[in-house]
Structure 1
């Protein structure tokens, strides 16, 4: 039986700011873009969350919820440096580490002999090391499978941990809300509710065929998760799935011509990121993303072997048919990368002409 730990830093960006600037402590604080520039909240501390402020929320709305909110622009280089410190701590306990972002990661400690081989004690030691060496708190989830470790790490936040032993898995998942399962977003959760499915126990009573009928391949994943199963191992070297760039606009735009102009401005940066990635995997699709004035978003993608300005234009036209009179507040373009097929050439870049 595997021993998986999911470590999740507590309000990471905001915590670094409070550590470095004590005057921010005990006050509602958020890291994000300015409201007058259509910014969004990257993260916020727990004082701000009491007012309803959340990550990915429009800064202007966050300021209405919490007029005394302190907003800072963020210092990504500092956050990266701290993340490297934390990663060095992980390395002491396991070679099997799967970073998910700067502030969270999975560790497989099945073969770790430290602390009598107890995953519970190892998680406690990691959190203590992080606090001692960075001044920041982390929460942890411990479980025999990945998705349950992630679910568990959120149960005793901040600065806590939750352990799901192998013997406790069945009882834990039976009462687990389906919305807690990674991959079940708001749309999927609403669809599940229309089918009378809100807990894992209810999914356990369904047939895999019925789930596949309504959710396709994800139906099989849902069935497995509802039974507490997750065969995925730790992937120390996660391949990036895409290279992309997007921009939030200062003012909504409405015409296709304006969107094309924004797209043209993104192409040099996309080329720069493609060149920097140095990926030896093939492009297998192109993607256009739009976010509308009501914050709903849509993506259009199509299989392709190389970047094509004309195809991006066609995808943009398709995406705009979904605007239904709404303004456009964000435009993004990306290339999707093959998961396995390798080639000897670097990724092809776009002709800058549009």
Structure 2
């Protein structure tokens, strides 16, 4: 049983509206560089969309109010706080965060427990237990009807006798309870309730921005009636290039009356579509071998991907900035830019790894990695041990300058000018610092067997692919706007998920985790040239 909870106005523009309530009735966009990172629903009624160039958005709506989105720290803080709120209601820990504003919860165990507690003779007076061991935490609810909206016909002759229907009904009341908790914090939410992540995400979009929808599809025909009208490109897990390939394969078959855009149902029902044909079409060099079978399952409403338990610590924390085609030509300019990035990075480290309640570090990175794009395309990455003094001086005004001058800057003395800078801390270890928050970081490092100072170099070719040996480095969070599909781990993950290679949603190529940022920048520059 999966529930997809989303703040559809995105927590980022909602953060700004909470700070300035007068903006709620105005078309509002959040900008990052020359792109509109996101916008509220007032702006969307003018035809404005996310990731639209600001100049184009201004033409559609001259009265558009723009807020600076370069610093994501306030938005990440809200995302982290609301994620912790939702996770506190999970029994199994399967709470998966995608980007800043979307969370999946596997509530199978909670729902199963409460279905067993139902009194069939008094469903209208039910009580939802939020704890196995303590009967007091919970809330009363009416188990004779669904909470929120329902997609599908509820025509069972004996509704209480259908197990799946009752489980969905109980889950809808839990979703409503969680939504009210989030909205009490001042943030609107939408939610989808279904049996897997694919369906929960799709049905959650039906009644945005401030409602929830349960998919009541108790038979396979009913499920396909819901899924089939969706455009193929809207199905999470099917990338842009894969969708284009599937569309072109059908256009070449001269099948009549194909919808435009191609829908999931049209592809599934086409006589030329089969597991074998998908395998033949999609089995290209470098492609994910499981892709054909996964797409076949998605077309039939099956999504075996689990809700992934969250990591206690992010795999890495990184911040990147770009400086146009001219780049930064002088050493002093590069150092100033690095200092600004490191200031933000150390702030992120404090937010993500410092436990204010216990007064200690939850963990600490052992490695600092710096990546630059030198010249037009070539990306070089170097890493070394993070000095232990940073832990004790992280809040000091001179900490960033010292780290740049002594550790980060010397790695790239010969790589100027640069057009992109990325600074990352990674290789996390758990912290058992004392109550003062200044535990023996040296002892932590010795206990974990940290190696001596080392430097690694990775070079990127002109097309964004890796030359030479791929490093075994974990992927993590970068300070970029992210909007993840339910079907996979793409680009960069705000939760810092680890992983080897992952599929690019734009070109469907498998990219190693540590190269994801470079590959993303490659596509961004492609778009700039097209304009």
Same fold per superposition (TM over 0.5): yes
| Mapped partners of 1:232, 1:337: distance in 2 | 16
Cα shift readout 1:275-324 (whole Å, capped 9, x = no counterpart): 345389xxxx968598xxxxxxx6423562449xxxxxxxxxxxxxxxxx
User: Is it true that 1:182 corresponds to 2:180 in the alignment?
Assistant: no
What is the aligned partner in structure 1 of residue 282 from structure 2? 215
Alignment partner of 2:375 out of 244, 258, 261: 258
Is residue 145–residue 231 contact of structure 1 (8 Å, CA) maintained in 2?
yes
What is the aligned partner in structure 2 of residue 105 from structure 1? 103
Residue 252 (structure 1) shift: 7.1
| TM-score normalised according to structure 1 size | 0.70
Is residue 323–residue 419 contact of structure 2 (8 Å, CA) maintained in 1?
no
| Mapped partners of 1:58, 1:17: distance in 2 | 20
| TM-score normalised according to structure 2 size | 0.48
Is residue 175–residue 199 contact of structure 1 (8 Å, CA) maintained in 2?
yes
After superposition, the Cα gap between the structure-2 partners of 1:248 and 1:49, relative to the gap in structure 1 and judged at 3 Å, is: farther
What is the aligned partner in structure 1 of residue 63 from structure 2? 68
Residue 176 (structure 1) shift: 3.0
User: Is it true that 1:140 corresponds to 2:191 in the alignment?
Assistant: yes
What is the aligned partner in structure 2 of residue 49 from structure 1? 44
Residues 78-97 of structure 1 aligned to structure 2 (within 5 Å): 78-94=74-90, 95-97=93-95
Is residue 29–residue 37 contact of structure 2 (8 Å, CA) maintained in 1?
yes
Residue 191 (structure 1) shift: 2.5
Is residue 241–residue 339 contact of structure 1 (8 Å, CA) maintained in 2?
no
Helix, strand or coil at the partner of 1:111 = helix
Helix, strand or coil at the partner of 1:17 = helix
Is residue 144–residue 165 contact of structure 1 (8 Å, CA) maintained in 2?
no
Residue 135 (structure 1) shift: 1.0
Is residue 315–residue 426 contact of structure 2 (8 Å, CA) maintained in 1?
no
What is the aligned partner in structure 2 of residue 173 from structure 1? 227
User: Is it true that 1:304 corresponds to 2:469 in the alignment?
Assistant: yes
Residues 4-19 of structure 1 aligned to structure 2 (within 5 Å): 4-11=2-9, 12-19=11-18
User: Is it true that 1:195 corresponds to 2:249 in the alignment?
Assistant: yes
Residue 52 (structure 1) shift: 2.3
Residue 195 (structure 1) shift: 2.7
After superposition, the Cα gap between the structure-2 partners of 1:228 and 1:260, relative to the gap in structure 1 and judged at 3 Å, is: closer
Helix, strand or coil at the partner of 2:375 = helix
Larger Rg: 2
Is residue 99–residue 236 contact of structure 1 (8 Å, CA) maintained in 2?
no
Helix, strand or coil at the partner of 1:102 = coil
More moved, 71-80 vs 103-112:
71-80
| Mapped partners of 1:5, 1:127: distance in 2 | 11
| Mapped partners of 2:202, 2:216: distance in 1 | 13
| Mapped partners of 1:147, 1:289: distance in 2 | 36
What is the aligned partner in structure 1 of residue 428 from structure 2? 278
Residue 26 (structure 1) shift: 0.9
Residue 126 (structure 1) shift: 1.2
Is residue 4–residue 107 contact of structure 1 (8 Å, CA) maintained in 2?
yes
| Mapped partners of 2:242, 2:308: distance in 1 | 26
Residues 26-45 of structure 1 aligned to structure 2 (within 5 Å): 26-33=25-32, 38-45=33-40
After superposition, the Cα gap between the structure-2 partners of 1:26 and 1:191, relative to the gap in structure 1 and judged at 3 Å, is: same
| Mapped partners of 1:303, 1:54: distance in 2 | 39
Residue 142 (structure 1) shift: 1.0
Cα shift readout 1:22-71 (whole Å, capped 9, x = no counterpart): 121211111113xxxx5212211111112222222222322222221111
Aligned residues: 291
After superposition, the Cα gap between the structure-2 partners of 1:258 and 1:226, relative to the gap in structure 1 and judged at 3 Å, is: same
After superposition, the Cα gap between the structure-2 partners of 1:111 and 1:195, relative to the gap in structure 1 and judged at 3 Å, is: same
What is the aligned partner in structure 2 of residue 323 from structure 1? none
User: Gaps (5+ residues) in structure 1?
Assistant: 291-297, 308-335, 341-346, 348-354
Is residue 29–residue 44 contact of structure 1 (8 Å, CA) maintained in 2?
yes
